[in-house]
Amino acid sequence: MSGFIFTIDYVGTLVFAISGVLAGVEKKFDLFGVIILAFVTAIGGGTVRDVLIGSTPVGWMTNEIYIYLILMAVPFCYFFKDKIIYLRQGFFLFDTLGIGLFTVLGLQKTLALGLSPLIALAMGVVSACFGGVIRDVLINEVPLIFRKEIYASACLAGGITFLVSNYFLAENISMIIAIATVIAIRILAIKRNWELPFKP
């Protein structure tokens, strides 16, 4: 992977780990529980993706930097907790950044293995969402991906944006545009109460 992609991977790991820590703090978990949530949130989606596409050992097992980044999230949240969760927006902020970063990372990694764009799009969503699914199950909440909120669909939109723009623009620029698309859709969906139209 290029240096730019490694940077996205590391930043995504850190911000997802922070969202896991914040979830544990809000649920009043002990230190061990908080660390477990940080790990599953940060590497859960990527682990599922890598197993599905046959990229083993999975990424975090061959590069200890991922473990250090996740462990860094715990003292970071401890020292800056009041600023991070001010007005209870911290969890949303870091989760949104995480899904934007990991959607594009999962998509790009799958394409690099020669798999089809459709499979790559699915793996982008898996990479972005499944760590959060595991986190939400562990804290006894319905995962965001199963609610009416615009969540996985924001990842799909960002992934499609990357696939289209990558035909015309440099890869790094396409990645930035796609990440911004996911984040913008997610933020607008929350601010304007957008929901998926389907109702059972």
In the chain, the percentage of residues whose pLDDT exceeds 70 is: 88
Higher pLDDT, 19 or 124: 124
Residue 90's pLDDT is 54
Residue 151's pLDDT is 80
Residue 83's pLDDT is 64
| Poorest-pLDDT segment among 13-22, 86-95, 115-124 | 86-95
Residue 89 pLDDT exceeds 70: no
Distance CA 171, CA 177 (A): 10
Contact 74, 22 (CB under 8 A): no
Name the average pLDDT for the chain.
84
| Poorest-pLDDT segment among 8-12, 137-141, 151-155 | 8-12
Q: At what angle do helices 171-191 and 3-26 cross, to 10 degrees?
A: 20
Residue 12's pLDDT is 80
Confidence of residue 38 (pLDDT cuts 50, 70, 90): very high
Residue 25's pLDDT is 83
Residue 87's pLDDT is 41
